[in-house]
Amino acid sequence: MNAKLRRQARARKRKMLHRIDPAQWSGASPMITPPKIGYELAGKQQAIAAGGIGAMLQLAKQLGLRGEINRSIRLLKVHLPYDEADHVLNIALNLLAGGDCLDHLEDRRCDEAYLNAVDAERVPDPTTAGDFCRRFDTVDVHYLMAAYNRIREKAWKQQPAEFFDCAMIEADGTQVETSAEKKQGIGINYKGQWGYHPLVVTLANTREPLFIANRSGNRPSHEHAAFYFDLAVERCRDAGFRKVVLRGDTDFALTESFDRWDGDGVEFVFGVDAMPNLVKIAEKLPESAWKRLTRRRASKQPSASSRAKRGRFKQQVVVENGYRNKKLAGERIAEFDYQPGKCGRAYRVVVLQKEVHLTRGQERLFDTEEPVYFFYITNVAKSTKPTRQVVIDANARCNQENNIAQLKQCALRAPLNDLVSNWAYMVIASLAWNLKVWAGLMIKPSGRPEQKAEQAAVKSGLIHMDFTTFRDRVLMVPAQVIRRGRSLVYRLLSYRPSVDALLLIHNNTRRPLRC
């Protein structure tokens, strides 16, 4: 950002911190005592609630998003007045500007200030947006995902060399529930939930959804997973990643693909069901093969400002009421070689044994009759990754559940009437989440060492930030929209610390891209 804007931001920050400093309290109480309220309608001044939307538009322009989308999908015979990119951006920007569904597009198209902010005479209404999604077929959806992946490669190229050390690719399925009776392709799962069952393949490094595949609600989680794993591996290798690792739970241990992945140099760590033959092998292991798993991660040293630990009130209720309770007493790990039936060679299997005690109130009843086993299969040699690290890496894929939960806040919804159109909507709406990640990736820390460290922290925070937190904290800053010559100016009408992140995004999206 320029020197003037930097000085203004610092001055506003000092003023804000002085105002909320407890030492500066005037002694007034209570605090929330509004005077008489009145309303007026402004004449020429216009403002929007989502003042950060301009930075997202600048980001999309810098990455060439419009041109890439229009080259990838051709769904409209005539562009009167919208082209394909208009429809895609309209849905994504609606979610970034505070909307939650297609119906909220009506609020955007009737907001004069919003139309001026995106420099549009008008934007598609909900009915037109729904009609656009219904024009997709399966091939078009794949073309759109390919366009997103070509765009994300531009953002990846702006990263330092160590970014390409390893690509961690994860997959999982989730249920998108709907009670509507006239949605083609819905099904009922084993829990009795009606809806769709999309597969999400994610780059764990940045939490980006590389592929989304919508399926009927009664389909297994692993269906088509090998196909999308292969596409993701190819995409990451083309982008320059030196190593690719696949992770997933027991449903994604696709043994028929293990030999092919291993021969192609792809590493994998998958959970395996505790099948009777694996349990028998684990039970026959000598005692010397087992090692105690003391802790999963390094313990943090308490700082001077750290708070005291709070009491475990749930456990207290369990003890007082004499409920039966299973308590983990210890964990042990071991490993052995095992050749699945569909594989031509043996792979390394790590087994985690959990010792569980059963208690009632404060009295210990007995140990569980049989130890609880968890199995993980990998093609990584022990010299490269020790046994304990395999368990830690396998459990780290649980963050995929958090990624899916975030996508459900914006993309994983089913507002339309058939499987493919809902699939198209999911992919289109995932652009909102992608723009959030790309905004963080585009930040290139610069300046003095302390400034670099601060900007690197902001970058990491944006990449891993929840969607609604990003939208409410970074984008939802009221701004006056002013047209000056051939440019639009967003004059921010309020200040809070998250404005610094917005200004940092804007500053970095104006820099030329690294080819």
* Residue pLDDT, tens place only, 422-473: 999 999 999 999 999 999 999 999 889 999 999 999 999 999 999 999 999 9
Residue 286, classed as helix, strand or coil, is coil
| pLDDT for res 317 | 87
Average pLDDT over residues 151-158: 95
Residue 103's CB: how many other CB atoms inside 10 A?
Answer: 13
Residues 373 and 429 in one domain: no
Could you tell me if residue 348 is inside a domain? Answer: yes
DSSP state, 385? S
Residue 8's pLDDT is 81
Q: Is 306 a member of any domain?
A: no
pLDDT of residue 312: 80
Given a cut of 60, whether residue 330 has pLDDT beyond it is: yes
Q: At which of 366, 382, 398 does a domain end?
A: 382
- Could you tell me if 453 and 500 lie in one domain? yes
Which DSSP string corresponds to 122-159?
----HHHHHHHHHT--HHHHHHHHHHHHHHHHHHHTTS
pLDDT at 515: 67
pTM for the full predicted model: 0.89
Q: pLDDT (tens digit, 9 = 90+) per residue, 396-416?
A: 888 899 999 999 999 999 999
Strands 167-173 and 244-248: parallel
pLDDT at residue 299 is higher than 60? no
H-state helical runs in 192-247: 225-239
Q: Is 111 left (phi over 0), alpha (psi -120 to 50) or beta?
A: beta
Specify the length of the chain in residues: 515
User: Positive or negative, the Cα torsion across 310, 314, 320, 325?
Assistant: negative
Tokens encoding 429: 């709406």
Q: Which amino acid is at 77?
A: K
pLDDT of residue 431: 97
For residues 378 and 421, membership in a common domain is answered with no
> What are the CA-CA distances from residue 194 to residues 181, 184, 216, 247, 472 (Å)?
9, 12, 9, 28, 31
**What pLDDT is attached to residue 313?**
86
Range of the domain at 343: 270-294+316-382
Decide if 127 is inside a domain.
yes
Select from 363, 382, 401 the last residue of a domain: 382
Furthest CA-CA distance within the chain:
83
**Per-residue model confidence as pLDDT tens digits over 83-110:** 999 999 999 999 999 999 999 999 999 9
220 in any annotated domain: no
Q: Which residue, of 357, 382, 407, is where some domain finishes?
A: 382
Determine, yes or no, domain membership for 398. Answer: no
Judge whether residue 365 has pLDDT over 90: no
Where does the pLDDT of residue 368 fall: very low under 50, low under 70, confident under 90, or very high at 90 and above? low
User: What is the total count of domains within the chain?
Assistant: 2
β-pairing, 372-378 vs 267-272, is antiparallel
Residue 485 lies in a domain: yes
Could you tell me which residues are beta bridge partners of residue 356?
A: 328
pLDDT at 296 (0 to 100)? 64
Please indicate, yes or no, if residue 477 is contained in any of the structural domains: yes
Give Cβ neighbours of residue 346 (< 8 Å, ≥ 6 apart).
337, 338, 339
pLDDT at 275: 93
pLDDT at position 304 over 90:
no
472-494 per-position pLDDT tens digit: 999 999 999 988 878 889 999 98
147, pLDDT greater than 80 = yes
- Give the pLDDT mean for 175-192: 90
| CA nearest neighbour of 210 among 133, 151, 134 | 151
Q: What is the pLDDT of residue 62?
A: 95
User: CB count, 10 Å around CB of 65?
Assistant: 24
Burial degree of 445 (CB within 10 A; 0-12, 13-18, 19+): middle
Work out the percent of the chain whose per-residue pLDDT is above 90: 70
pLDDT at 334 over 90: yes
* Residue 287 backbone phi and psi in degrees, to 5: -60, -30
pLDDT digits (tens, 9 = 90+) for 60-71: 999 999 999 999
**Domain-located, residue 327:** yes
Do 354 and 433 reside in the same domain of the chain?
A: no
